[in-house]
Structure 1
């Protein structure tokens, strides 16, 4: 083995290898602590996904780790739901902002559960404020309490009243007049759960079946009438 090759190998052994930075795709925490929290997360995520289904440059994610700073895997949050305008739809293991034209999520939702602490929520607020979120909504389904923050210049500022508030980015409306939060699409249609949508589809299917049965009955009646006319020597086609 030549001296040059030996010295090269010694140099490689002596110099530490550059460590590959790992960005975990899970924080080890469950998506939700209870069925109520999970229902709200899925309702908001599902309806926002449908709302922007035809816009290829709006990405809606649920419980996805967001890394705003390259090289800093400890700086991360996983919003219950986040909406990012200006990036394409598609599967991701995490949202690495520097790989997405450095576009931060513009809208974030957090659904509270009894396990959420004030300290935890304060850290989330600081994170979202620091890294560019424009609209931040927090809903406590147990207490039916909704709060929102909107970016004004450099910081997120509290929205004074959330009742009938309309999101500047999403165009959806928040209604707090009832026993629980109601969300409405810009066309006035209420946000619905998968179960409610399934029930409506089943009702429409039953209505279509009833119409088919009614048409079949009318067709049978017409066939009977045509047969009787033919027995009487009358051609039904000549009557039309």
Structure 2
């Protein structure tokens, strides 16, 4: 009598890369880095907010073909830490709530429609497409029950989840932190940091010069007092 042993199903491999470039041009890349970096900075003290860029999301366990790699996404309720990919079924079934895609000339309209359908189907709450080239603008959708509803006008709109505000200024896109500071690129942040350091050094130098002048005045006063005592005069009575 023979027995039949059912072999376990083969393990599913979830690649950490889809082989696609991160960006098609430098402007798209700059916006991806700026969005990801500023949002990550906003939540630096929140251990339960994970922010990533150009990172594959796998929403369905056992199906490696169902995936997307948004330019930037934010997952609330998930711990920080490095990941090869974001597997929703290993992340307490939390699908990232906020998704950003940055348009480039290589994108096709049908491709963007498929992405939006994907994010809508698997649970994103907010979805934004940033168009950094002329005419610069942002399209946005917010979940209403089970479907995305297009945001009528993103200019001046504040993200419910992130608290950031989008504005169009003289044909350019500006994004603002909840405290009103504008999102800065890496170069702008570096320049601001350098300017702050220069000002701090100048203030330190001024303080040191003031200290030296005060010390010189003190020594001068002590010499004068010593000379008066030599002449038999009590300087404290003057």
TM-score, structure 2 normalization:
0.89
Pick from 151, 176, 187 the counterpart of residue 184 of structure 1: 176
Note if 1:224 corresponds to 2:216. yes
C-alpha separation between the residues in 1 aligned to 2:223 and 2:10? 94
Q: Name 1:61's counterpart in structure 2.
A: 52
Note if 1:95 corresponds to 2:86. yes
The runs of at least 4 consecutive aligned structure 1 residues that moved more than 4 Å come to none
1:62-119 CA-partner distances (Å, limit 9, x unpaired): 1110000011100000000011111111111111111111111111000011000112
Q: Name 1:33's counterpart in structure 2.
A: 24
TM-score, structure 1 normalization:
0.89
Structure 2: gaps spanning 5 or more residues: 228-234
Q: Secondary structure at the match of 2:225?
A: coil
Counterparts of residues 112-191 of structure 1 (less than 5 Å): 112-143=103-134, 144-191=136-183
Q: Name 2:40's counterpart in structure 1.
A: 49
**Higher mean Cα deviation, 221-230 or 187-196?**
221-230
Give the alignment's Cα RMSD to 1 decimal: 2.2
C-alpha separation between the residues in 2 aligned to 1:37 and 1:217? 48
C-alpha separation between the residues in 1 aligned to 2:218 and 2:106? 73
1:117-171 CA-partner distances (Å, limit 9, x unpaired): 1121111111111111110000111130210011111111111111100111111
C-alpha separation between the residues in 2 aligned to 1:25 and 1:78? 10
Q: How many residues align?
A: 229
